[in-house]
Amino acid sequence: MTEQNLGVKKPKKKVEVCGYPLSIFFIVVNEFCERFSYYGMRAVLVLYFRYFLKWDDDLATSIYHTFVALCYLTPILGAIVADSWLGKFKTIVYLSIVYTLGQVVMAVSAIHDLTDTDMDGVPNNMVVHVALSMTGLLLIALGTGGIKPCVAAFGGDQFEDHQEKQRSTFFSIFYLSINAGSLLSTIITPILRAQECGIHSQQKCYPLAFGVPAALMVVALIVFISGSSMYTKTAPKGNIMLEVCKCIGFAIHNRFRHRSKKFPKREHWMDWADEKYDKLLVAQVKMVLKVLFLYIPLPMFWTLFDQQGSRWTLQATTMDGDFGITVIQPDQMQTVNPILILIMVPVMDSVIYPLIKKCHLNFTPLKRMTVGMFVAAMAFVAAALLQLQIDQTLPQLPSGAEGQVKFVNLNNENLSVAIEGTDYNVPPFQVSGDYLTFDKPFNVALTKNNVTKKDNLTLKSQTRQTTLVGPSLDLRMVTDLTRKPEEGMNAVRFVNGFGAALNVSFVGTIEPLDISNYTNIKQGPAEFRITNTGGQSCLYNKQMGFGSSFTFVIPSTFDIQSSNCKQAIQAVEDIKPNTIHMGWQIPQYFLMTSGEVVFSVTGLEFSYSQAPSNMKSVLQAGWLLTVAVGNIIVLIVAEAAQLPDQWAEYILFASLLVLVCIIFGIMSYFYTYTDPAEIEARFALPEYDPEEKKKKKDSIVMEWKDSLKRKVSGSRKRSNSSKGSDKQDNDELKQSRM
C-alpha cells in the first residue's frame, strides 16, 4: 500500500539541511513567535484588568484564570478537529488566523483614546473596551488551545523512518523555542507596557504591549504558510479520543442494562464493552483510566502554580522594584520562573536524581510528584509570610462607617485643634500628624491667637480627608487617596500657602490658600520647578520610591529667590512608599519552580510511560485538563472565599494542596506500575486473535478425526472393549472443541 493510499501527502522533493527536513525550520520559528505572542500578552494581562479596566483584585484574578482555563480546555477540541476533519496543517492555519484576530482585537481594546471623548486620558465608555477585551481573549483561547496539540505532532510528521535521531533532536529544539519565546516575551512586554503613549494624553502603553505579540502572531502565521509546499501532510484518520469515549460510554450503558443480579459479575466494569469492542482496545482503555484516576488530585497543583501570573504579580505591585542597576516592573518578576527552569532541569537530571539513586532510595515518579506538590505548597507559605511583612507597610485605611481626617494649618500662627477633649497643636504650615479616625459626626474647636471657632464635622465612610484651615479659621475639606497609587507610581499634590498664585511643573497653577489635584510621578529623583507670576522660579527635588503619596506645603514665608528656597517646603507623607523589596519574592519563585520541575516534568514522563502506544494523546489531553480545572478552582476560591487578608488566602491554598498531597500519596502507594508494551504484546499472541483461535481449534478437531478413522479402519473386530475405546475417543473429541 502506498503512502498516498495511507493519506500521507508528501512534497515532490524533500529538501534537507544537515540531515533535517528544511520544513522544520518554519515550524520552529512559528512556535517561537506563537509562544512569544501568548506569554507576552499573558504577562501584562492581570495588570491590564486591574489598572486599565479598573477591576478589583478578585475580579481581575478570576477573569485571568478563566482565560487560562479556556486555553487548556480547547486543545481537546483542536485535537478532535485535526484528527477527524481538517488534518493538522489546515487546523493550525485556520486556528492561527482566529488567534491572530484575537491578538489584534486585544491591542485595539487597550487604546484609551478609542472612547476618550473629553481627552482627559480616561476612557468614557469602558463597556466598549471590556467587550473588545473579552472577544479578543475568547478568540485567543480558541486559537492557542486549538493548535497546541497539533504543532509538535505536525513537526514529528516531517521526518522519515531513518531520521529517528533527528526527530528526537527536533523535539529538544522545539521545546527550547517554547522556553525562549516565553522568557523573551516576559521580559520585553512589561517594558513596553511601562512606556507612555497616546494621541490626546500619554498613558501606560498597553496597546504596544498587546500589539507586539499580535505582530509576532502575524509573523508566525506567515512563516508557517510559507513552508506549505515542503510539508508532509497526513490526512485525518479518526480521533482515538472519540473512540475511547465511545468505548467507555458503551461499557457504562451495557453495565446499566445488565445491572440485575442474574447477570454474572465481570472482573472490571470496562469488560462490559467486550461485546462490541476489541479486547485490545478495552485493555488499553483500562490502562488509560488507571492513570486518569491518579490525575484527580492534580488540578490543585496548577491552582497554585498559575497564580504566579495573577496574585503574585499583584503582590509585586506593592513592593520596591529598584534593583540598583535597573528598575523591575511587577510583571517582569514572572521571568524568574523560566530562568530557574533552564537552570534547574539539567541540575535535577544530572546531579540530584543520580545522587538520590546512589543513596539507594527508590524515588519513583509518583513519589517525585508528591514531593513536588508539597514543595509548591511551601511556596505559598513563603508568599504568605512575605505578605504579612508587606501588610505592615500598607496604610491603615478606614473600614465600615469609619472616615479619616487630618488638618493642615495655612496660618502664620500656631493652631490648636480640639476634638472630643483632646488638643492637637499644629505649627504654621504644618500638618496635624497622622490621620484621626471617626465613625460618627464630631465637634472640632479651632483656636488661633486666643480666638476660637467651633464646627461640627461629618466624615464620609471609608474615605480619607484633609481639612485646610484658612486665616479666618474657615474649613475646606478635600478627599485624599484611599489606596496605594497604581502601578508603583507616586501621587503628589501641593498646598499653596503663599500670598500669590504659583505654577508647579507637572502639577499646574495653584491659587493662594488652595490645594492641587494629585499628579502621578515615576519612581526615582523627581524635580519640580515652582514659578511665580513674575517668572522667577525655584527647583524642588524629591527622591521618589514606589507607591507613595505626598502633600507638599508651600508656606507664606516662601522666598522663591532664596538659594535654599526648597528647604522651606514641608513634605508630608500621606502613604508610605513600598519598602519590601521585590527580591524577597525569589524564594517563593524558587520553591514553586522546584515543585514544577519535580512535578510537571516527572508527570509527563510518567504519563508517557504508562500510556498505550496509540493513546498517548488521550493522556496528554487529560493532563491539560488538570491545568484547566486548576484554574477554575482559583476563580471559585477568589469569588467564594472572600477572605479579608491576602496572606490568609495563601495559607488556605497551601493547606488545600498539602491535604491533596496526602491523598495523592495514599493513591500512589496502592498504584501498580504497568508496562503497556507488554500488555499489548499479549493481545498480539494467536490465542487472543479470534481467527487464529478458530483455526487452531479446527486443526485439533481434524487431527482427532483422522486418528479416529485410522483406529476404526485398523480394527476388524468390534467388541465391547472397542466400543468403549470409541466412546473415549468421542469424549476427547468433544473436549477438544470446548
pLDDT of residue 258: 81
Element spanning 425, H or E: strand 422-426
3-state secondary structure of 703: helix
| Residues 285, 248 contacting (CB under 8 angstroms) | yes
C-alpha neighbours within 13 Å on the C-beta side of residue 641: 20
User: Is the model's pLDDT at 328 over the cut of 80?
Assistant: yes
pLDDT of residue 615: 77
Query: Hey, CA dihedral for 539, 542, 546, 548, is it positive or negative?
Result: negative
Take residue 307 and report the three cell numbers written for it. Answer: 497564580
b or e along 453-484 (b: 16 or more beta carbons within 10 Å of the residue's beta carbon)? eeeebebeeebbbbbbbeeebeeebbebeeeb
Name the percent of the chain lying above pLDDT 90.
39
- How far apart are the C-alpha atoms of 437 and 403, rounded to whole Å? 6
Element spanning 590, H or E: helix 586-596
pLDDT of residue 733: 33
Q: Please state the pTM of the whole predicted model.
A: 0.82
pLDDT of residue 71: 94
| Residues 410, 495 contacting (CB under 8 angstroms) | yes
Take residue 700 and report the three cell numbers written for it. Answer: 485439533
Please give the radius of gyration of the chain, using alpha carbons only, rounded to the nearest integer. Answer: 36
Take residue 578 and report the three cell numbers written for it. Answer: 513600598
| Residues 99, 137 contacting (CB under 8 angstroms) | no
Close Cβ partners of 412 (under 8 Å, ≥ 6 residues apart): 428, 556, 557
Take residue 30 and report the three cell numbers written for it. Answer: 512559528
Per-residue HEC secondary structure of 243-263 comes to HHHHHHHHHHHHHHHCCCCCC
Question: What is the bridge-based pairing of β-strands 436-438 and 403-409?
Answer: antiparallel
Amino acid identity, position 725: S
Take residue 550 and report the three cell numbers written for it. Answer: 505626598
pLDDT of residue 397: 82
Take residue 454 and report the three cell numbers written for it. Answer: 467651633
Report the 10 Å Cβ neighbour count for 120: 11
pLDDT of residue 263: 79
Take residue 696 and report the three cell numbers written for it. Answer: 487452531
Take residue 223 and report the three cell numbers written for it. Answer: 512563516
Tell me the mean pLDDT in the region 11-33.
81
Residue 710 — very low, low, confident or very high, per pLDDT cuts 50/70/90? low
| Residues 307, 632 contacting (CB under 8 angstroms) | no
3-state secondary structure of 494: strand
Strand partners for 465 = 405, 479
pLDDT of residue 205: 93
Per-residue HEC secondary structure of 135-155 comes to HHHHHHHHHHHHHHHHHHHHH
pLDDT of residue 152: 80
User: Is the model's pLDDT at 131 over the cut of 50?
Assistant: yes
Strand partners for 215 = none
Amino acid identity, position 522: K
378-387, 524-533, 553-562, 675-684: range with lowest mean pLDDT: 675-684
Tell me the mean pLDDT in the region 439-443.
89
Residue 607 — very low, low, confident or very high, per pLDDT cuts 50/70/90? confident
Take residue 456 and report the three cell numbers written for it. Answer: 461640627
Selection from 483, 550, 473, 465 nearest residue 513 by Cα: 473
Amino acid identity, position 727: K
Dihedral angle at the C-alpha atoms of 598, 600, 602, 603, nearest 10 degrees? 140
Selection from 98, 20, 82 nearest residue 233 by Cα: 82
> In 168-248, which ranges are E strands?
196-197, 203-204, 233-234
Which single residue is written with the C-alpha cell 498480539?
Answer: 684
Per-residue HEC secondary structure of 469-489 comes to ECCCCCEEEEECCCCCCHHHC
User: Is the model's pLDDT at 703 over the cut of 70?
Assistant: no
- How far apart are the C-alpha atoms of 368 and 595, rounded to whole Å? 9
Residue 90 — very low, low, confident or very high, per pLDDT cuts 50/70/90? very high
3-state secondary structure of 218: helix
* 265 or 690, greater pLDDT: 265
- How far apart are the C-alpha atoms of 191 and 696, rounded to whole Å? 74
Average pLDDT of the chain, as a whole number: 85
- How far apart are the C-alpha atoms of 36 and 181, rounded to whole Å? 4
Close Cβ partners of 700 (under 8 Å, ≥ 6 residues apart): 736
Tell me the mean pLDDT in the region 183-197.
91
- Angstrom CA distances, 717 to 149, 191, 712, 720, 721, stand at 77, 107, 10, 10, 10
Amino acid identity, position 289: L
pLDDT of residue 10: 67
User: Is the model's pLDDT at 211 over the cut of 80?
Assistant: yes
User: Is the model's pLDDT at 612 over the cut of 70?
Assistant: yes
User: Is the model's pLDDT at 372 over the cut of 90?
Assistant: yes
Close Cβ partners of 362 (under 8 Å, ≥ 6 residues apart): none
User: Is the model's pLDDT at 1 over the cut of 50?
Assistant: no
| Max avg pLDDT among 11-25, 218-232, 601-615, 711-725 | 218-232
The dihedrals phi and psi of 227, each to the nearest 5 degrees, come to -90, 15
Tell me the mean pLDDT in the region 374-392.
95
Tell me the mean pLDDT in the region 656-685.
86
User: Is the model's pLDDT at 252 over the cut of 60?
Assistant: yes
pLDDT of residue 180: 86
pLDDT of residue 706: 61
pLDDT of residue 55: 92
Amino acid identity, position 568: A
738 burial type by CB count under 10 A (0-12 exposed, 13-18 middle, 19+ buried): exposed
Which single residue is written with the C-alpha cell 490621620?
Answer: 435
b or e along 17-40 (b: 16 or more beta carbons within 10 Å of the residue's beta carbon)? eeebbebbebbbbbbbbbbbbbbb
* 568 or 224, greater pLDDT: 224
Which single residue is written with the C-alpha cell 506563537?
Answer: 34
Which single residue is written with the C-alpha cell 451495557?
Answer: 254
User: Is the model's pLDDT at 514 over the cut of 70?
Assistant: yes
User: Is the model's pLDDT at 713 over the cut of 70?
Assistant: no
Tell me the mean pLDDT in the region 452-470.
90
b or e along 259-281 (b: 16 or more beta carbons within 10 Å of the residue's beta carbon)? eeeeeeeeeeebbbbeeebeebb
Which single residue is written with the C-alpha cell 472565599?
Answer: 641
pLDDT of residue 566: 81
* 337 or 9, greater pLDDT: 337
228-232, 371-375, 693-697: range with lowest mean pLDDT: 693-697
Name the percent of the chain lying above pLDDT 70.
90
Question: What is the bridge-based pairing of β-strands 403-409 and 464-469?
Answer: parallel
322-331, 562-571, 619-628, 705-714: range with lowest mean pLDDT: 705-714
The dihedrals phi and psi of 453, each to the nearest 5 degrees, come to -135, 130
Residue 730 — very low, low, confident or very high, per pLDDT cuts 50/70/90? very low
- How far apart are the C-alpha atoms of 648 and 196, rounded to whole Å? 36
